[in-house]
Every structure is written in structure tokens, then in C-alpha cells.
Amino acid sequence: MTSDRLQTFLEIATEAALAAGAVLESYLGKLEDAVVEKGRPGDLVTAADKASEVVILDIVRRHFPEHSILAEESGKLGDQDNEFLWAIDPLDGTTNFAHQYPFFAVSIGLLIHGVPQVGVIYDPFHDELFRAAQGLGATRNRRPIQVSNTSELSKSLLVTGFAYDRRETSDNNYAEFCYLTHLTQGVRRSGSASLDLAHVACGRIDGYWERGISPWDIAAGVILLREAGGKVTAYDGSPLDLVSGRILATNSYIHESLSQELIQVPSLSTWKQ
């Protein structure tokens, strides 16, 4: 894929993210009763999610009608065997948004032959625009960014999240959260996977892991972090599978040590009461 073509994709993704961000701003604090649960407790969808997605889909389809789409609210659209797949989260951090907690974003990633190669994440509340494309680097508000240089897990700050089915399964990340809190300078839980990845990419956070996530949550963030000098894999260091629901992403320096700790965390049921 040529740099010029990737740049074109990046500009269209940016146009869509900024337009969607404006939609989210127009809804913030005005949802009233327009918030419902999609199935599991805490898995919310709002009128803002849907309106934001409509805007994104309109822009992407207008420019690339033949491309396939995987969007959080609309699901699979178009020929899923097409080499170009847009992974779209119109509002990453819906629960935060519904409570007017200022940590949410629009996330738009483009996979080419299954590999994230273009990504845009827009935080409208703080007006932060994160962009990246394969071989073109990563930026925040058009300025280059890079990961932190923290090289020891004991000196790192991490971030994670908890899946919507955490009440129903023991595979819920609670043990990892507690375990790694004791091995690091802290673990945060923000509620927006795309922004977690963006913050690792720009050096605010040293590492991130999560389970129970979807491709649209992380597609844009994966290319952003890689272009900023970070590393993204499965928990055990093997290649990332976007549909596995699990991700380990770091500044690369602490990647091996964090991976080793993650795969040996004892189950909560074995901890002393």
C-alpha cells in the first residue's frame, strides 16, 4: 500500500472522527432517558452512540462504497471478504459519557488484509486527535508522539478495563488488577480502551492489558501504538488476534516482564482471605 493511499484513508478517517466528535458534544449532558442496556448490566447504548455511527458510516460509504465495515452498533456491513475493513466504535466509553464523566472517544480503524494500518481516535471533550498510518508515524493534534521510556515494571503506571460480563464469569481481570497494583506504581481503569491505547502511545501510560474487548475497541489504537514505538501482542507475547478479546500493549520496554506476570497471576480463589 502506497503512502499516498494510506494518507488518503487517514484524512477520511479524520474527517469522520471529527464529525462524530461534534455529534457527541451536542448530546453530552442532554441524554435524559435515551440510555438503555443492550443485554448485560452496564452494557449501555445511547442516542449519541447511534447518531455518531450514522455520521461515520455516511462519510466512509461516500468515499469508499465498496469497503466492508464492522461497527459496534450496526455490526457487519458489506462484503466481509473485502481487503479493506473499517472497524468503528462511534462512542468508546458509553458509560462514562452517560454519566458525563469526561473520558470517551470516537475510534476508527482501517484493517487491510486483516492488519490495522490506519487509525484515528478523537477525544472531543479534551479536543485531542490521535492519528497514525503504517509507516507514517503517530501524532497527537498533528504533532509526533512516542511511547515512554520506562523500563522497569516496578516504576510503571498501567491501565486496564473490565468486561461487561465480569459479574457472570470468573475470567474477569480482577485478580490481575490487584496483583499488578502491588508490582507497579499503580493501575488505572478509565473505561475507554481506545484512549487507553492512545495514552500508552503518547507516553502517559506505560502499559495496558484487557480482556473481553472487540475489534472496534482496539483496531485504531493498535496501529497508533505501533507507530509510536510500542508493542502489541497477546498476553503470552504471541501475535495479537483482534477477535480473541485479549490484548497486551506496552511501551515495548516492559512488555516481556508484564507478559510474564500476566500469565502467572494466581486465581482470586487461591488468595488468602
Return binding residues for Mg(2+): 72, 89, 91-92, 217
**Residue that has been written with the C-alpha cell 516496578 in this structure:** 154
Annotated binding residues = 72, 89, 91-92, 217
Can you say whether residue 220 is alpha, beta or left, with left for phi > 0 and alpha for psi between -120 and 50 degrees? Answer: alpha
Q: Alpha carbon 94 to chain centroid distance?
A: 13
- CA distance linking residue 84 with residue 142, whole number of Å: 25
Specify which residues 70 forms β-bridges with. Answer: 76, 87
**Exposure letters 263-272 (e unless 16+ CB within 10 A, then b):** eeeeeeeeee
Which residue type does 157 have? Answer: L
- CA distance linking residue 223 with residue 112, whole number of Å: 12
**Residue that has been written with the C-alpha cell 505501533 in this structure:** 226
CB 148 within 8 A of CB 255: no
Rg of the chain (C-alpha set): 18
Those residues with Cβ within 8 angstroms of residue 222's Cβ, 6 or more apart along the chain or in another chain = 109, 116, 119, 197, 232, 240, 242, 247, 249
Give the residue ranges of DSSP H helices in the chain.
3-27, 47-63, 94-98, 174-183, 193-201, 215-227, 255-262
- CA distance linking residue 158 with residue 209, whole number of Å: 8
